Structure 1
Amino acid sequence: MKHLFIFLPLLCLGITACSADINKSKQSAELVEKTNSKKPNIVLFFVDDLGFGDLGMKNPIFESPNVDALAAQSLSLENTYVASPTCSPSRATLLTGQHPAKLKMVRHLPSGIPTESVHYWKTDPAQFPVPNWLDTKYKSYATAIKKQGYYNHFVGKWHLGHNKGFHPTDHGFDSQWGTTNEGHPKGYSGKFFKDSSMLTQPSEQALTESKSDKYLTDLLAQHSVDWINSYDKDQPFMLSLWFYNVHRPSQGKPDYVKHFEEKGLTGDMAKYAAQIKSMDDAVGRVRAALKAKGLDKDTIILFTSDQGSYFPNLPFRGKKKGETLYEGGARVPFFVHWPNVTHDGTINHSIIQTTDIFPTLVDIAGGNSTLDKNLDGVSLLNVIRDNKVLERNKPIYGYRAYEDLYISVREGNWKLLGYRSGERRLYNLGIDPLEQKNVVEHYPEIVKSMTSKLQAWEKEMGVEKYTGFPKAL
């Protein structure tokens, strides 16, 4: 069935000059101290393959009352982009604050325990060698905020290392649950994963038993609730709940699938809507647990996605596995709820990249992210706290290694797309947010300027040998 999209008015994509002091902010600890008398707990919801508009508040064919309520109580960063909209790279970016091009992790990790340190992709024109795991030499946000006194618990999908020595607890997390060596489940009911021996925690029998009355997302939610209820440490915590949903296979809870079929959806679309509803249930259950324990006023909640949906992300162009660096594949929802700091229903149009989340977490925790020179993003603390518009002093870049289209450059309203065959496409998102009119021939100076910056960035990231652009401008 066609992916219907009831499109609300397009949000402004333009960016206005403001907050020139964003990279010269005061010490982060001072800012947090002014905002809150004690360090807040942090909950990060990271959804797999949720499209920008695939929530009930944007498209009523879906039902997500809990996430909608969260968004209504949050600051919504409407122009948020994934640095590499793909499973493993998006996670590596979130975890390290470094661009996946610098990490050389610009493709998802293949299934199975690797026998080699890198892998190649048959249809990748550049034959870019991608690591088979994220090396522990890269500092994670868990390690960074642990230094600020936080306890870090990880739940759910990892997909950053299928072998021992590269799991969440090897990357700075204090504990983990529901984490496996597979990028996605075999199914969301019954036996979830193909090989039970691949579980990083074999004692978690619930993840391999064949009882059809259990649903994977419900188990992750129940564990998260139980963990919150039992948490008794005298230190703030960060709970990272990285969902397997709404990644394929398309498998929703039967009663939810039936519910959406009765509403007129069919096939995989009804199942996808059911998957979204289960993810939404989990968000609601975690928030209810925080409230029941009296932690809701002391907990910051972040909600985002790793890339666009498998289905068309209308009205935008692109999706997962199809022109993925276009808006429909690279642009994701991002909400931040900070009690007594953010204001309900606030919209911010800053150009944000997921590289910015790591430094933001560090600053929220009371650290100073500007001391870490390896980070490729900037802290959003002032943006979140004061709803300032972030003035970036350089473009943001998207990068992948699968097919001809491999790079994007966003600078203000301009977006340049690059292909390894040498083709370039230019769009003015201020007047053409749907990327329908390629104006590359009409603005040669802009193309030249953006291409020059792109080539300098590729050299900075150490990927210039794989460029698709001619040396001569």
Structure 2
Amino acid sequence: MRRNIFILLFSFSFNFLSAQKDARPNIIYIMTDDLGYADLSCYGRKDYQTPNLDKLCAQGVKFMNAYAAAPVCTPTRVAFITGRYPARLTVGLYEPIADDSLVGLTSETPSIATLLKKAGYETYLVGKWHLGYQPEHTPNKNGFDYFFGFKSGATDYISHTAFRGEPDLYENDKPIEKSGYITDILGEKAIEVIKQRHQKPFFLSLMFSAPHWPWQAPGDKPVAPGNGTEWSKGGSPQVYAAMMKSLDDAVGNVVKAIDDLNLSNNTVIIFTSDNGGEKFSDNGIYKGGKMQLWEGGIREPAFVRWTGKLKEASITTQVSTTMDWTATILALAGARADKNFPLDGIDLMPVLTGEKTEVPRTLYWRIFQRRKHYAIRDGSWKWLRDEKGEEYLFDLSVDPSEKNNIKEKFPDAFLKLKNKFIAWEKTVLAPIPLQ
């Protein structure tokens, strides 16, 4: 009798713990590519509308001071996948990584997917990888249970080929062929993942290529093989608007799938981008763009929806960066970072729920291979050195457009920030010249 009671209690405890574990939220992280700060109508775009993204933004918390970890693709993705400044890893020094590179992300550094998988999550990546091409660098070798997407920095939206014309669409490690516009395909695949019968909570990293060049609207012809310079030619504001409509529709369909399955109360949706905008983008009031550390190169639209947990139509001025999303997601999942690879980000959820007030931040950036820009934001102060060696100090609270260099007026603040940057740079890897 006592044995039966013990078995009953053990079974109850196991089931209770499993239910508690499974009650953790599903997490969908959506990253776009080269999206300008004001490229969504909810952030100020006037010549086209993004109704689905606007609605998603209105259903959660909108960020006004969200930053990318770098002004270019690969380093920002390194930051998200590892939760650490990109310059802490060799792959993060490439701006961006070349298609024929032997360098890439390896399992030596625990990825967000590895940590989530260890914590009991199913892990999926749909879309762009751009963190290595060798067998040991693939998403599946870095913690993702499932990968569907492309490995290069840009893909033809129609033919799904990389610069030189080689096929670049994979399911896990196998090349596949599939007809259709890549933005639509990625959205549809994400919905397939969501609709699966999940035994555990899931993490879906949905990495769109839009609105990165080549500038192709649905129905356009494939572009000729070439290189980045050739692929970034052409286009028009009308083509860009069509690309953005496809992106907006795809995200809208993904959100609808979540809502139709009654998963919205237990699914956190995060939306952001990897760096500032380029040709045809609108970076709003911010100076510069992609490949630069002026605000336009690193400011991002970002918002989070968690139905029933986060107040709708709310706005935060919390300063944040890419690594914060990693820390926030791990905290939501009850996962822990590896003590040998401490995170450089913070959990944003206590601020978003109102449990804590906004947290003062000090953030660092460095880009070397093409622009040689260096920057730090400390509170509202920002120090920047550009490719000409000119140094600047701005107070972003009154001069977000970086129009007035006040280093002469505030020499103490100028030296403080510069010295903090110098000290930080000693803690990361030395840059690698472009070869």
- Fold agreement, TM-score > 0.5: yes
Residue 327 of structure 2, aligned match among 350, 359, 363: 359
Cα contact 1:151–1:236 (8 A) shared by 2: yes
Q: Does 1:455 align with 2:425?
A: no
List, as ranges, runs of 4+ consecutive aligned residues in structure 1 with deviation greater than 4 Å: 197-201, 368-373
Higher relative contact order (CA 8 A, sep 6+): 1
Partner of residue 158, structure 2: 189
CA drift at 1:195: 0.8
Partner of residue 287, structure 2: 317
Q: In the TM superposition, what whole-angstrom CA distance separates every residue of 1:313-337 from its partner, at most 9, and x where no partner exists?
A: 232101114xx21111100011111
CA drift at 1:389: 3.6
SS of the equivalent of 1:241 reads strand
Q: In the TM superposition, what whole-angstrom CA distance separates every residue of 1:394-432 from its partner, at most 9, and x where no partner exists?
A: 510111113454211101111100246543111111111
Matching of residues 345-356 of structure 1 within 5 Å? 345-356=313-324
Count residues in correspondence: 394
Partner of residue 61, structure 2: 75
CA pair 372-56 structure 1, distance change in 2 beyond 3 A = farther
Partner of residue 143, structure 2: 172
Task: Report the Cα distance in structure 2 between the residues aligned to 1:457 and 1:388, rounded to whole angstroms.
Answer: 27
Structure 2: which 5+ runs fail to align?
A: 1-19, 221-233
Residue 34 of structure 2, aligned match among 40, 49, 65: 49
CA drift at 1:60: 2.5
Matching of residues 132-281 of structure 1 within 5 Å? 132-178=103-149, 180-185=150-155, 187-193=156-162, 194-196=165-167, 199=170, 201-202=173-174, 204-206=176-178, 214-229=180-195, 231-254=196-219, 268-281=236-249
Cα contact 1:89–1:100 (8 A) shared by 2: yes
Task: Report the Cα distance in structure 2 between the residues aligned to 1:181 and 1:465, rounded to whole angstroms.
Answer: 22
Q: Scaled by the length of structure 1, what TM-score is found? A: 0.78
Partner of residue 341, structure 1: 309
Matching of residues 21-32 of structure 1 within 5 Å? none
Q: Does 1:399 align with 2:385?
A: no
Partner amino acid, structure 1, of 2:81:
L
CA drift at 1:344: 0.6
Task: Report the Cα distance in structure 1 between the residues aligned to 2:98 and 2:322, rounded to whole angstroms.
Answer: 25
Cα contact 1:363–1:369 (8 A) shared by 2: no
Q: Does 1:39 align with 2:5?
A: no
SS of the equivalent of 2:421 reads helix
Cα contact 1:348–1:387 (8 A) shared by 2: no
Identity %: 33
Cα contact 2:383–2:417 (8 A) shared by 1: yes
Cα contact 1:307–1:331 (8 A) shared by 2: yes
After superposition, the CA RMSD in angstroms is 2.4
CA pair 422-430 structure 1, distance change in 2 beyond 3 A = same
CA drift at 1:341: 1.0
Structure 1: which 5+ runs fail to align?
A: 1-34, 118-131, 256-265, 467-473
Cα contact 2:106–2:136 (8 A) shared by 1: no
Partner amino acid, structure 2, of 1:408:
A
CA pair 216-375 structure 1, distance change in 2 beyond 3 A = same
Cα contact 1:192–1:216 (8 A) shared by 2: no
Cα contact 2:69–2:321 (8 A) shared by 1: yes
Partner of residue 407, structure 2: 440
Q: Scaled by the length of structure 2, what TM-score is found? A: 0.85
Q: In the TM superposition, what whole-angstrom CA distance separates every residue of 1:212-251 from its partner, at most 9, and x where no partner exists?
A: xx2111111111112222x113210011110111100111
CA drift at 1:307: 0.6
CA drift at 1:37: 8.8
Partner of residue 326, structure 1: 294
Task: Report the Cα distance in structure 2 between the residues aligned to 1:91 and 1:282, rounded to whole angstroms.
Answer: 21
Task: Report the Cα distance in structure 2 between the residues aligned to 1:48 and 1:106, rounded to whole angstroms.
Answer: 19
CA pair 135-370 structure 1, distance change in 2 beyond 3 A = closer
Q: In the TM superposition, what whole-angstrom CA distance separates every residue of 1:94-124 from its partner, at most 9, and x where no partner exists?
A: 110010121241333444333xx5xxxxxxx
CA drift at 1:434: 0.6
CA drift at 1:296: 1.9
